[in-house]
Structure 1
Amino acid sequence: MTEQLKRATISDVAEHAGVSRAAVSKVLRNAYGVSPAMRTKVEESMALLNYRPLALARGMRGNSYTLGVFLVDLSNTFFSVLAEGIRDVAEELGYQVLIGQARQGLDAQQKLIEAMIDRRMDGLVLIAPFGPNDELEKLGRTIPVVVLGRHGPAKYFDTVASDDIAGSALIVDHLVSLGHERISMLANTQPDSEPGMPQTVRRHGYDLAMEKHGLSQWIDHVPGRWGTESGLEAGRSLAARPLAQRPSALHGGADVAALGAYTALFEAGIHIPDDMSIVGYDNIPATGLPPIGLSTVDQSGVQMGRQAAELLLSRIEGRTESEHVLVSPRLIVRKTSAPPRR
């Protein structure tokens, strides 16, 4: 394992040869437009750095120069932001990205992943997949895998996730600083089978932050899923509560759910932020539109996607030691959070 970790990567070859990583990728693929001088320079660097054995190993796997990206919810635009970062890195190195969506459910997820493997993709990025870690570990032993959204640790696959504990603390701390005490959370309660799922970690972060501020009595998980329809339902349920039982602020869980709740509360005549503050999570593009101005937590989606792609490519090149990246979130305060009405 130590020997593998010391082997050169495409980046090492590019730096040694004084060319771009895309140029090295073109040489590896025998692509059109590579001059004889460029090919010679890159191949000499590959030989000096002992890169060739890794290239051969890739050839044995099919060498399709295709990365598969798996997701379950195309309506969540944060996933498209992640995919943008993955695509940027892949295109720099001459890879194609194919995106596959599975319906809800483990069976549909498994069938799509198997279909991607059958099409000889070089590696997979799985965005917030369901199911037990054991299944992901099994998958990681057969093909390079990076999981986006879920938290480590893991042995046979890499992870890239937001620091969801810190992100929830940013929301609660902000709302408490404005004078709020009754702070509820739109909690994605299904599925809830694995401790590393973002909804589980984010909810735990909310609980910890409420306890830190001495607000344990006001901990309130509004059940549902992180989607627009579920957000609408959650907003309607909050609006239906008696005024004395209604929170003054809401941790939206994820932007798509927070926007759904915002819509339902607005339709019920509850003014945001005068009657209730809302803070989302993800900083999807719609949150910055002037009519909305949703306060939210930014977790650098494009950068997360880029990091996932970088990790996957280094896995493809032969790295075996797992890596787990935790991205530091930041709070973005807009129009939907303000002091509570007195």
Structure 2
Amino acid sequence: MPKPSARTGRVTIVDVAQHAEVSTTAVSKVVRNAYGASPEMQAKVRKAIAELGYRPHAAARGLRGQTYSIGVMLPNIRNPFFADIIDGATEVLEDAGYQVLMGPGCNGEAEEARVTETMIDHSMDGVILIAPVSSRQHLEHVARSVPTVIVGRHGRSSSYDSVADDDLSGAALVVNHLADLGHRRIAHIEHLETDPDHIVEMPNAVRADGYRQAMRARRLDEHIDVASTTYTQEGGYLGAQQLLARLHQPTAIFAGADIVAMGALEAIAEAGLTVPGDIAVAGYDNTMFAGFAPVSLTTVDQRGRQMGSTAARLVLDRIAQPRRPASHMKLAPTLIARRTTAVLPH
């Protein structure tokens, strides 16, 4: 077996070519997914790459125009829904020969700018930004520098592609489900946005609007009740505490995300109440733990893996065709009814 280059200490394209008994041009074509490499040639080269542990030199590839790396910015690493998106994106990108590199935006515009600018400086071929809080102007600035896909934002731009859930109808699914079970005092825990510049584009704002519209459509205007907090477990806990302190407690709570619902369940249990006997709870996202038997959370499935795979395909399309018209995809959510919601006791 060939040894790594004595000069660099790493396996080179020459080593791979010698091991596979092909030309360096053939290896280069396979690494770049370029036209002209037969299936048999690809198999030989990929086998040699695996056996030698060859990794293309990112800096050198960047000088030739591609690094075969995609940057993914996510708000934080604690919300399990984002893991579903990343799983879907990674599966598509790895199959296409791309490496996924992640960076947390920490739910702040300055932090997001730092992460995205770093990705651009490292010559990544494209970026996927999950639920960014940055202004439209900044997102368009990023898109002018690198192929960009926005996940979770509802605003449209000709500069970047996007994929989002139909949060308006998703919220209506929850309200209608609870109303059909006999609930009237249906409250909502929302994520409070402080920047009016892009608040209407954020999924939490659209869900809150969808909640209000659905309540009015069911003629439950007088029972609209919102606790404004954050999309975190602590936020759900504090939001539920606010709602439970009302003179007329809600009989059902629509939490804007599963992670928020977990905090709400904690506050309800701490108050000595039962779910769904005393109060029903529904989340949003259909994260992995929502289906755990001890939790069995009613929630909305917004197809996180499909959202991620769609975003990955969009960014690959944008890399291949930089001048094509922007695509804006909207996925249809479904309600998953579980044990945390039930018919209102009389």
How far 1:334 moved relative to its partner?
0.3
- Asked if 1:220 corresponds to 2:225, the answer is yes
- Asked if 1:315 corresponds to 2:321, the answer is no
Contact 1:70/1:126, CA 8 A, preserved across alignment = yes
Q: SS state of the match for residue 94, structure 1? A: coil
Deviation string 1:78-121 (CA, Å, 9 cap, x unpaired) is 00110000000001111000010133321111111111111111
TM-score, normalised to structure 1, is 0.82
Contact 1:61/1:122, CA 8 A, preserved across alignment = no
Contact 2:168/2:209, CA 8 A, preserved across alignment = yes
In the alignment, the residues of structure 2 paired with residue 219 and residue 182 of structure 1 have an alpha-carbon distance, to the nearest angstrom, of 7
Q: SS state of the match for residue 141, structure 1? A: helix
How far 1:167 moved relative to its partner?
0.2
Q: Bigger CA drift: 136-145 or 285-294?
A: 136-145
The answer for unaligned runs of 5 or more in structure 1 is: 1-22, 40-57
How far 1:62 moved relative to its partner?
3.0
Contact 2:126/2:315, CA 8 A, preserved across alignment = yes
How far 1:30 moved relative to its partner?
7.0
Q: Is the alpha carbon distance of 1:25 and 1:178 closer, same or farther for their aligned partners in structure 2, counting shifts above 3 Å? A: farther
Q: CA RMSD in A?
A: 2.2
The one of 159, 162, 170 equivalent to 1:156 is 159
Q: Relative contact order (C-alpha < 8 Å, sep 6+): which is higher? A: 1
Deviation string 1:221-254 (CA, Å, 9 cap, x unpaired) is 1110111111111122223333xx1111111101
In the alignment, the residues of structure 2 paired with residue 24 and residue 208 of structure 1 have an alpha-carbon distance, to the nearest angstrom, of 58
Q: Bigger CA drift: 131-140 or 250-259?
A: 131-140
Q: SS state of the match for residue 296, structure 2? A: coil
Q: Bigger CA drift: 291-300 or 136-145?
A: 136-145
Contact 1:231/1:261, CA 8 A, preserved across alignment = yes
- Asked if 1:334 corresponds to 2:338, the answer is yes
The one of 86, 89, 92 equivalent to 2:89 is 86
Q: Which residue of 2 aligns with 1:237?
A: 242
In the alignment, the residues of structure 1 paired with residue 75 and residue 109 of structure 2 have an alpha-carbon distance, to the nearest angstrom, of 10
The answer for unaligned runs of 5 or more in structure 2 is: 1-25, 43-60
Q: SS state of the match for residue 190, structure 2? A: strand
TM-score, normalised to structure 2, is 0.82
% identical equivalent positions: 43
How far 1:59 moved relative to its partner?
7.0
Map 1:1-342; keep pairs closer than 5 Å: 27=30, 29=32, 38=41, 62-193=65-196, 194=198, 195-242=200-247, 245-319=248-322, 320-342=324-346
Deviation string 1:274-321 (CA, Å, 9 cap, x unpaired) is 111111000000010111100000011101100000000000112431
Contact 2:151/2:311, CA 8 A, preserved across alignment = yes
**Aligned residue-pair number:** 298
What is the letter of the counterpart of residue 234 of structure 1? G
In the alignment, the residues of structure 2 paired with residue 188 and residue 223 of structure 1 have an alpha-carbon distance, to the nearest angstrom, of 6
Q: SS state of the match for residue 291, structure 1? A: coil
In the alignment, the residues of structure 1 paired with residue 186 and residue 129 of structure 2 have an alpha-carbon distance, to the nearest angstrom, of 32
Q: Bigger CA drift: 275-284 or 189-198?
A: 189-198
Q: Is the alpha carbon distance of 1:134 and 1:240 closer, same or farther for their aligned partners in structure 2, counting shifts above 3 Å? A: same
Deviation string 1:152-181 (CA, Å, 9 cap, x unpaired) is 321100111100011001000100100111
Q: SS state of the match for residue 272, structure 1? A: coil
Q: SS state of the match for residue 73, structure 1? A: coil
Q: Which residue of 1 aligns with 2:18?
A: none
Q: SS state of the match for residue 164, structure 2? A: strand
Deviation string 1:192-246 (CA, Å, 9 cap, x unpaired) is 531111011111111110110111111111110111111111122223333xx11
In the alignment, the residues of structure 2 paired with residue 265 and residue 162 of structure 1 have an alpha-carbon distance, to the nearest angstrom, of 29
What is the letter of the counterpart of residue 115 of structure 1? T
Contact 1:69/1:99, CA 8 A, preserved across alignment = yes
What is the letter of the counterpart of residue 217 of structure 1? E
Q: SS state of the match for residue 297, structure 1? A: strand
The structure with the larger Rg is: 2
Q: SS state of the match for residue 147, structure 1? A: strand
In the alignment, the residues of structure 2 paired with residue 36 and residue 176 of structure 1 have an alpha-carbon distance, to the nearest angstrom, of 57
In the alignment, the residues of structure 2 paired with residue 132 and residue 148 of structure 1 have an alpha-carbon distance, to the nearest angstrom, of 14
Contact 2:130/2:151, CA 8 A, preserved across alignment = yes
In the alignment, the residues of structure 2 paired with residue 335 and residue 26 of structure 1 have an alpha-carbon distance, to the nearest angstrom, of 54
